[in-house]
Amino acid sequence: MDPAVYDRMAAHEDRHWWFVARRQIVADVIAKQIPLPPDGHILEAGCGTGGNIAMLSQFGEVAAFEPDAGARRWATDKARVEVRDGRLPDRIPYEADRFDLVAMLDVLEHVDDDVGSLKAIARSLKRDGRLLLTVPAYAFLWSAHDVSHHHRRRYDRRQLVSVARAAGLEPLYVSHFNSWLFPLVAAVRLVKKLLARSESADDGMPPTILNKLLRMVFASERLVVPRWPLPFGVSLMLVARRA
């Protein structure tokens, strides 16, 4: 990602509506969808600046890796855990068959070889381990946000399931999320495309009241997503295990 994106992430991910609400939804999915032992081992693959590590630590002992040196420093300072240098698909700095859960939260869209990356991650899982990943949805929502974040693609549901199966994973649960705000997000991005307007960064911190409102709307999906899959949304979530 652009260095400025990491700077904004490190500065805002503890309170920005999108990061906060996504963590709440992911935590509820883990609690309700993923059986973990009390002393479970969890890996965050591509942890960025470390904003998810505290949340994941509620469920077990967390290890992490991240390819960007600056982001690793942010994550180490923030989370107070060792964050190793690693990259998908060929530099996972942990042994195989180690983890009960691997979390890849908006990571897969950054890599060139998504099938190869998931194959490598599958080897990190214990025999009955689980993978939880999130990705951005729908190619028609492609925008300057995807460019600045160095995305390679956005996924639809069928494509994501196909990639997981090709990597030797068995999908157990698939759902869209960030669904309540989907009409607003889609309308804004499509209007900007039609008007050929340049886009400023959309991951900055909004005004306090708006930030709180967006967080409440997005986070309310935690009442639905862990139980029933949603048919559309800005993002996709998949839970899978080794086939």
Domain-wise residue ranges, the chain: 3-242
Does residue 80 register a pLDDT over 90? no
Confidence (pTM): 0.94
Secondary structure letter of residue 118 according to DSSP? H
For the chain, how big is the Rg over CA atoms in Å?
17
Question: Which of 21, 28, 22, 19 is closest to 227 using CA atoms?
Answer: 28
Supply the pLDDT for residue 200.
52
Listed in sequence order, the residues at least 6 apart from 216 whose beta carbon sits closer than 8 Å to its beta carbon are none
What average pLDDT does this structure show over 35-64?
A: 96
Residue-wise pLDDT for 2-12, tens only, equals: 778 888 888 89
Supply the pLDDT for residue 10.
86
Residue-wise pLDDT for 142-196, tens only, equals: 988 899 899 999 999 999 999 999 999 999 999 999 999 999 999 988 887 777 6
Question: Which of 241, 243, 225 is closest to 101 using CA atoms?
Answer: 241
Contact 157, 14 (CB under 8 A): no
- Superfamily in which the 3-242 domain is placed by CATH: Vaccinia Virus protein VP39 (3.40.50.150)
The rounded distance, in Å, linking the Cα atoms of 142 and 138 is 8
pLDDT > 70 in the chain, percent: 97
166: amino acid identity, one letter:
A
Supply the pLDDT for residue 202.
65
DSSP sequence for 197-219 = -----SSSPPPHHHHHHHHHHHH
The rounded distance, in Å, linking the Cα atoms of 51 and 49 is 6
Question: Which of 69, 43, 51 is closest to 8 using CA atoms?
Answer: 51
Supply the pLDDT for residue 6.
86
Supply the pLDDT for residue 142.
92
